[in-house]
Chains A and B, each alone.
Chain A
Amino acid sequence: MKKNNAVLLSAPYLAWMVAFTLIPLGVVAYYALTDPSSGAFSLGNLANLGMYLPVLWQSIVYSLVSACICLILGYPVAYFIAHCGPFAQKFLYMLVMLPMCMSFLLRTLAWVGLLQDTGIINSLLGKIGIGPLTLIRTPGAVVLGMVYNYLPYMILPLYATIVKIDRRLIEAAEDLGCNGVQVFLRVVLPLSVPGILSGMTMVFVPSVSTFYISQKLGGTDTVLIGDVIERQFKQGNNPNLGAALSLVLMLLVLVCTSILNRFGGDQEEGGVVV
């Protein structure tokens, strides 16, 4: 009886999952494993992926760099918020969340307006006789876009983890002879590891598959795997190849996240679901 109720209550979600996640996944797998012209089963698409390995590698490097920058920028912020008073904590938490209330596309487009050759930054620099600098269509701009868009996903799980660290553990460490730096390195940092892992995952995963950021802020040499996949579908070149690339990317993300989770061991997850 109870079990039946649970199934009944979750039925809408299950139907949604089947219609919009499971079936599309099946379609992707079908395209990836069929020949474009004959429609017969084929591993040809996967065999042709070799030439895209450099792009895939570039995507991973960009995403890892972004995730690391997010960690370096985000950790002090999260640490600071976690040590504020209850009211300040709520206020600062809201400030971190605020950009996420605005569309991801708008946020990225805003950076185009800021960075382009005739944009705000360059015209201001022009007034004092500098520039115009090449800001847009550079690897730096792509990484900037990733960091800007995904930084909250780093701060929030870090904050959630740090705020839960028992104050008495810090006092115990001081009691046993730790100065401030040692308390941080020996107690606070190790206990933040679950938050760090969850933040890294939540920045890395959307970064590695993005195409919009690289299209708007990147140039011809900053093509990411997401761009390649999009092009295979949109410009009608080869949906089968696009599907094969998607499949490989998805596997890669799964492998990365499971490795990260293994690292975290049995620690409680302090993350926020996107």
Chain B
Amino acid sequence: MSKELIRLRNIRMAFDDEVVLNDLNLYINDKEFLTLLGPSGCGKTTTLRIIGGFTTPVSGDVLFNGVRINDVPPYRRQINTVFQKYALFPHMNVFENVAFGLRLKKIPDPADPTGKRMVKLSEAEISSRVMEMLETVSLKGFESRKPDALSGGQQQRVAIARALVNRPKVLLLDEPLAALDLRLRKDMQNELKRIQQATGITFIYVTHDQEEALSMSDTVVVMDKGRIQQIGRPEDIYNEPKNAFVADFIGESNILDGVMLSDYHVRFFGRVFDCVDKGFAPNESVDVVIRPEDIDIVPQAQGHLVGTVTSITFKGLNYDIIVEFKGFKWLIQTTDYHPVGAVIGIRLNPEDIHIMHKSEYSGMFGDYSSYSAEYDELTEDAGDEEE
């Protein structure tokens, strides 16, 4: 199962002196569903294009089954791509679009005993493979339609069929669901996952949608500013983010300044908390990350910290409340209603306090807009308080 198929080694990529990928190292296993996740401009699409052969890295190696393929053109790679916005051929109908790759394919002639003579696939084989693939993506009966007579979801499925019908070793998908509405997107996520499991083809999927990445992938690669921030299973990425960027980009987080006093003891907000992390230098400045759903609301008297509710939003499953502690605003998710102005206490369990090495990153992807600016402003004040 976990046989290495693709390896990117020390990949560096720049356009006009602007560094897009910086010493990128990554390996991808056979039959794996791997997602490159990150905000726009993080280098994820460039990474995909390097694997597909559309872009050549400035330096570094691309290995496929251990063989360097930097200079192999796209049409010689056992890799097919589902392009963003599909790129279906407008002058061909659905059948011809799907048959495109098969018509170019050459196989050893079965009638030739030496097996050296190459022949094209027979029309009958092309037809049966195309029809089988159209059935897989539920587009039977659409063979003679032109792409512009199809809905977005249908076009998207033609694009998948067109790539998969060639039975590639690897399928690259560049934000294939970005143009679809939410409902269709959910259906297609399940559909893609099903197809991937049924065919055993390695999927490399690019998205900026963290939920999509978490729900579909075997492995998630979080990228930012041309660097890999973290690689891991979806559960690990979510539960054990390696730095403040990952914590903030994946799900929602409260990121605070803290000082690691010793192993298992961290101080923030002028108070020492027990935690489960160790291995930091004594008195090292750290980022403390607390997930909004991990915070327990308790009566004032029992709280580790006491704050005032400044806003409450109903989200269906829960309420999102913003609570102010000494000028800091935290996002807390709770199923109970707390009116604006209510004074509440909170408790933090040691396993819910995540300690990370300090990074320059500070809360860009928090959902509550007031956070970033105030955070920057207030960090200095808080620092003073601790002295």
Interface residues of chain A, those whose CB is within 8 Å of chain B, are 166, 168-169, 171-179, 182, 186-187, 190-191, 193
Q: Bound state CA distance, A249 and B387, in angstroms?
A: 97
Return the contact of A171 from the options B54, B90, B166 (Cβ within 8 A): B54
Query: In the complex, what residues of B have CB within 8 A of residue A193's CB?
Result: 91
Q: List 19 A-B contacts (CB under 8 A).
A: A171-B74, A171-B83, A172-B83, A172-B88, A173-B89, A173-B100, A174-B54, A174-B74, A174-B75, A175-B81, A176-B80, A176-B100, A176-B104, A177-B101, A177-B104, A177-B166, A178-B75, A187-B89, A193-B91
Query: Helix, strand, loop or mixed for chain B's interface?
Result: loop
Which of B85, B91, B163, B166 has the most chain A CB within a 10 Å cutoff?
A: B91
Q: B44 interface residue, CB < 8 Å from A? A: no
Contact A171 B75 (CB under 8 A): no
Contact B87 A168 (CB under 8 A): yes
Q: What 5 A-B pairs come out closest when comparing CB atoms?
A: A176-B101, A177-B104, A168-B87, A172-B87, A174-B74
Contact B87 A169 (CB under 8 A): yes
Q: Bound state CA distance, A177 and B166, in angstroms?
A: 10
Q: B73 interface residue, CB < 8 Å from A? A: yes
Q: Mark B68-94, 1 if CB is under 8 A from A, else 0.
A: 000001110001110111011111000
Query: In the complex, what residues of A have CB within 8 A of residue B73's CB?
Result: 174, 179
Q: Bound state CA distance, A168 and B85, in angstroms?
A: 9
Q: B307 interface residue, CB < 8 Å from A? A: no
Q: B105 interface residue, CB < 8 Å from A? A: yes
Contact B90 A191 (CB under 8 A): yes
Q: B267 interface residue, CB < 8 Å from A? A: no
- A256 to B: closest C-beta gap in Å: 23
Instruction: Report the nearest A residue to B83, measured CB to CB.
Output: A168
Contact A176 B91 (CB under 8 A): no
Contact B89 A175 (CB under 8 A): no
Q: Mark B28-58, 1 if CB is under 8 A from A, else 0.
A: 0000000000000000000000001110000
Q: Bound state CA distance, A187 and B85, in angstroms?
A: 17
- B59 to A: closest C-beta gap in Å: 23
A179 and B83 in contact, given A173-B100, A191-B90, A191-B91 (Cβ under 8 angstroms): no
| Residues of B in contact, count (CB < 8 Å) | 24
Query: In the complex, what residues of A have CB within 8 A of residue B75's CB?
Result: 174-179
- A236 to B: closest C-beta gap in Å: 53
Return the contact of B91 from the options A174, A179, A190 (Cβ within 8 A): A190
Contact A182 B87 (CB under 8 A): no
Contact A169 B80 (CB under 8 A): no
Q: Bound state CA distance, A176 and B100, in angstroms?
A: 7
Query: In the complex, what residues of A have CB within 8 A of residue B101's CB?
Result: 176-177
- A176 to B: closest C-beta gap in Å: 4
Query: In the complex, what residues of B have CB within 8 A of residue A174's CB?
Result: 53-54, 73-75
Query: In the complex, what residues of B have CB within 8 A of residue A186's CB?
Result: 100
Q: Mark B87-114, 1 if CB is under 8 A from A, else 0.
A: 1111100000000110011000000000
Instruction: Report the nearest B residue to A267, measured CB to CB.
Output: B91
- B104 to A: closest C-beta gap in Å: 4
- B55 to A: closest C-beta gap in Å: 10
Q: Mark B162-173, 1 if CB is under 8 A from A, else 0.
A: 110010000000
- A162 to B: closest C-beta gap in Å: 14
Q: Mark B111-136, 1 if CB is under 8 A from A, else 0.
A: 00000000000000000000000000
Query: In the complex, what residues of A have CB within 8 A of residue B83's CB?
Result: 168, 171-172, 175
Q: Bound state CA distance, A171 and B104, in angstroms?
A: 15
- A49 to B: closest C-beta gap in Å: 41
Return the contact of B104 from the options A166, A169, A178, A191 (Cβ within 8 A): A178
- A226 to B: closest C-beta gap in Å: 37
Query: In the complex, what residues of B have CB within 8 A of residue A169's CB?
Result: 87, 89-90
- A212 to B: closest C-beta gap in Å: 39
Since A172-B89, A177-B101, A191-B91 are in contact, a sample of 10 more A-B pairs with Cβ atoms closer than 8 Å, ordered by chain A residue number, is: A168-B84, A171-B74, A174-B53, A176-B75, A176-B100, A176-B162, A176-B166, A177-B105, A178-B75, A191-B90
Query: In the complex, what residues of A have CB within 8 A of residue B166's CB?
Result: 176-177
Q: Bound state CA distance, A90 and B79, in angstroms?
A: 37
Contact A171 B87 (CB under 8 A): yes
Q: Bound state CA distance, A169 and B86, in angstroms?
A: 9
Q: Bound state CA distance, A173 and B80, in angstroms?
A: 10
Query: In the complex, what residues of A have CB within 8 A of residue B100's CB?
Result: 173, 176, 186
Query: In the complex, what residues of B have CB within 8 A of residue A177's CB?
Result: 75, 101, 104-105, 166
- A170 to B: closest C-beta gap in Å: 9
Return the contact of A172 from the options B79, B81, B105 (Cβ within 8 A): B81
Q: Bound state CA distance, A179 and B53, in angstroms?
A: 13
Q: Bound state CA distance, A174 and B166, in angstroms?
A: 13
Q: Bound state CA distance, A173 and B101, in angstroms?
A: 8
Q: Bound state CA distance, A182 and B120, in angstroms?
A: 15
Return the contact of B52 from the options A173, A175, A187 (Cβ within 8 A): A175
Contact A166 B162 (CB under 8 A): no
Query: In the complex, what residues of B have CB within 8 A of residue A178's CB?
Result: 75, 104
